[in-house]
Chains A and B, each alone.
Chain A
Amino acid sequence: MIEYICKYTPVEILKGFGVEPMSWNCSVDNLDQADKIIHRNICAFSRALIEHRVREPENVLILTNCCDSIRRVRDVLASRGQTVFILDLPHRDDQCSRRLYKKELLRFIDEFSAYSGRKFDLTCFKAACGKLPLPISGPTVALLGARINNRLLDRIQKLSPLPVINLTCTGNRRIGIAPQTDDIEKLMDWYASELLSQIPCMRMTEIASRQELINDPNICGIIYNTISFCDYYGFEYKMLREKFSLPMLKIETDYTGQGDAQLENRMSAFFENLNVLSKRNTCSYPKNENYSKKFYIAGIDSGSTSTEAVILDSEHNIVSSAVVPTGVSVPDSAKKAFKVALQKVSLSEERIVRTVSTGYGRTAVTFGNRDITEITCHGKGAYFLNPAIRTVIDMGGQDSKIIRLNSDGSVKDFAMNDKCAAGTGRFLEMMAQSLGITLEEISLCGLKWDEEITISSMCSVFAQSEVVSLIASGKKLSDIVHGLNVSVASKVIALGGRTGAEPGYMMTGGVAKNIGVVRAIEEKLGVTIYVPKEPEICGALGAALIAMEDIMNES
């Protein structure tokens, strides 16, 4: 078996040798072996490739000189005695680089022939050429950016209401029909040109033709993938975010399945808000004659730290709400919150005609009629509470989000923290623990400060040891807490990006109750932030409003 990873690989030459190479693009369960032999802070795909190769070392691997990480992968694997070929791929696409790559291809033919003992057959090579990608027809979601593993690609295709086209660095490979000549020099001249003139990946010097990827009017939305510690595609995402108005979701993947649940959550929210929303996600419920009379609906937000329930009446009044800690059983916590909310206004369960669930545990809420991501729900809830809101800062226990709203309250764009706890409620919990104070105390303690202390560590773990050092050096508690508030504020503002947030701010989630953090964000943004009376129920409220919309749509 011969494996390769890059679209600039001379696949057709390998077919000319009578072998069928396989593009390796799988995720791995963990990176245990890779972490033993290469540094953790290199591109996650490279580490996954090493993990795979350590477990299955027999196959021949063909690489291109595509980036620093892959060059080092080649060194690591070669030093373990594996058979690895590397092609020296130029960064430029001009006459000189095509000449150089042609010579590299001829060198590779000799090298592979000597290795395999096989003869290169020009007829087989020419027959393998001429494979062009199918043009896009009809509304499509484009997957752009860095490569994405097959499992996740498959999942995205299943989640998306529209066909998904893979335009990542491994997709969209184009090799035209080979000229009718048997002169290998001429053929390789042509072939080098074909390989180098493909729509370039971001590693190439000249990238203007990447514009073609998004010019197709059929593209309705973009999922932009980056790989952790592969920095090439962050630049293009930055440019697209600034210059294009298509709905776009940025995700970061690491070639393990560890973050897939969060990714799916974010993608579901993205698809919910695509303008061309499919009918697939809308459930059809039986019509109920009673709907014309007064009725009640419920929204349940099953979060990592707490579970909230909101009851609305048919006049859109919030008649009750409840917040309970999320215990070990998500369904039980949801049920408990629901019951507490009902008991507060002496309503029976039967009076609730529709329930929508949201939050991380939304799919586990067994009594809900359907589930919607908390991104859509927070947007909906925030707009209901204050229609002037354009940016929602939701800071919960395990994640923080910036949700941008259109003037009609629909979600325009959003950003979420990845796996890092910095800028979340969990971060504040860890810091309160280090300082030996409660969450209520940390909320107020930083309001009166004297010395500006900068908590410079980005990482929660490093920040915790920094806090311990500050305590040891005799710094005042209020100054340290203020430093922490500023650190959290910086993190969450960075999430929105410089162009990502618009005036008309609301803060939701449990952290919105922390006055120190709210003040620090206000100061950094230079605006006043609207904080609702009960910021933690905003998601559940949005879920209830969606339940209401469902009923209205049906009637």
Chain B
Amino acid sequence: MGTVVEKFGEMVRKNVEKNPLRALELLRAGYFISGKQMKYMPKHQLLPHQKYAAVVSNRAIRAPLTSPDHSAVVSVFTPCELLHAMGIMPQFTEGLACYINGAKAESAFIRFAENAGIPQTYCSYHKILIGAALSGVLPKPRFVVNTTLACDANNGTFRLLADIWKVPHFTLDIPYRSSDREVSYVAEQMREFVLFLEETLSQKLSEKMLRNVIRRENRSIRLYQEFFNELSQKVLPNDMTSEMYKIFLTHVLLGTGEAEHYFELLVDDAQKSEPSNNEIRILWVHSLPFWQRSMKNIINFNPRVQLLCCDLNFDVMVELNEENPYESIAKKLLSHSLGGENTRRTDRILEMAKLLHADGIVYFCHWGCKHTLGGANAAKCILEDAGFPTLILDGDGCDRGNVNDGQMSTRMQAFLEILEAKK
């Protein structure tokens, strides 16, 4: 299988520059086939919620590639409730970049972006997205939206995307503080966002549809909380790829029927799983190097290692008020754990580490993420002071050419050995 994907990636890479439409066709076909494979021949170790996440995420990536007029390219923390209420499928930076990595084609897109002048030090997820847009492989969406939350790269990338495609662009500015005046500021922007959408799509936002989205989202959040309560006492086989798929469900797909069904399956799988049995319980911070064989060998479905969750999958779990949707979305954005001071994030990690009985925390420093990198040392001090051994692990979530594989796996393995010795 590895050789087939390698050959496929080579074909995509060769076409990125010379024949971008051919590269797009190849990606569409490749994702179509892998979607079928995930649906009908999934890996035997996967639990029902994981199999479902793979299929739904595949669909979410393919839809904007096949029907770009009904899609928008968004940053990961963009509140997508309004988009779902208006029938727009969001395509997000990290999701697309990881899928391109899955096709073993990321190097061509990164090279394209860097050759065009995008700094080498820029976040690899963003470089892949920019390379995909600049090369003409990624079809033009209806519009682009980003927030200023957490990641500086959003400001540069989305402005550039709008310029490349000549499509409307909306930025939601999320302040650092989160008092009532900031709530009003963001809520006002949410109302502007509605006008932007209505004008761009030439259709009115249906309040009824938005209510339905919010109700689904709230039910999903309640199910998700139930899952964490279960997980605190259980062991649930997990892998890095499934944890990345979960980001689709906890972010851009939240509020959809698919996401709600996913959380139902998640709770069901947790309820059926075995009680915790002295395994090493790891909480992960930031994205995961799901593609890296050496890391997969150490973490994925390892009966001694429970990958509990990555913090991006519990960054904000707030129910919305359907009677006051814009203020409540504003409050949700402003209470995001990646906003404000770094302690907001570390407090949330600590809260979950305690709830889930974590033995250790892996703080993954994805290349180019200044937010995460800048907070690494301070977070390690806080987490270790609270009794959670923490490993700072430098790596790259999607660029094979940017890691020292041997060093990473040695550090990860040594960390697990330390935790094992404490058992």
Q: Chain A interface (Cβ within 8 Å of chain B)?
A: 37-39, 41-43, 46, 65, 67-69, 71-76, 79, 86, 88, 90-92, 96-97, 99-100, 103-104, 202-203, 205, 207, 226, 228-229, 231-232, 234-235, 237-238, 241, 452, 454, 456-458, 462, 465, 469, 490, 493-494, 497-498
Contacts and interface: CB of A to CB of B under 8 A. Distances in A.
A494 B156 CA distance: 20
Interface of B: 10, 107, 111, 114-123, 148, 150-153, 155-156, 159-160, 171, 173, 175-177, 181-182, 185, 188-189, 341-343, 365, 367-371, 373-378, 381, 392, 394, 400-404, 406
Contacts of A69: 370, 374
Given A88-B177, A231-B153, A458-B401, A79 B116 contact: no
Pick the most buried of B114, B369, B370: most chain A CB atoms within 10 A of its CB.
B370
Nearest to B163: A239
A412 B120 CA distance: 24
A232 B126 CA distance: 13
B115 A493 contact: yes
Given A69-B374, A79-B381, A100-B175, 9 more contacts: A68-B152, A71-B341, A91-B155, A92-B173, A203-B152, A207-B159, A231-B119, A465-B404, A498-B115
Pick the most buried of B115, B153, B406: most chain A CB atoms within 10 A of its CB.
B115
A65 B122 contact: no
A104 B152 CA distance: 21
A21 to B, nearest CB: 21
Nearest to A238: B117
B171 A72 contact: no
B318 to A, nearest CB: 21
Contact of A37 (B159, B341, B377): B377
Contacts of B176: 65, 71, 86, 88
B34 to A, nearest CB: 22
A241 B117 CA distance: 9
B3 to A, nearest CB: 12
B375 A91 contact: no
B121 A68 contact: no
A99 B10 CA distance: 53
A68 B107 CA distance: 26
Given A39-B374, A41-B373, A231-B121, A75 B116 contact: no
B118 A238 contact: yes
30 contacts: A41-B121, A41-B368, A41-B373, A42-B374, A46-B374, A69-B374, A71-B176, A74-B341, A76-B374, A76-B377, A76-B378, A88-B176, A90-B175, A96-B188, A97-B185, A203-B152, A205-B155, A207-B159, A229-B121, A231-B122, A231-B152, A231-B368, A232-B152, A232-B155, A232-B156, A234-B117, A235-B160, A237-B117, A238-B116, A493-B115
B344 to A, nearest CB: 10
Nearest to A88: B176
A241 to B, nearest CB: 6
B230 to A, nearest CB: 34
A381 B342 CA distance: 55
Contacts of A494: 111, 114-115
A102 to B, nearest CB: 10
Contacts of A38: 374, 376-377
Pick the most buried of A231, A454, A465: most chain B CB atoms within 10 A of its CB.
A231
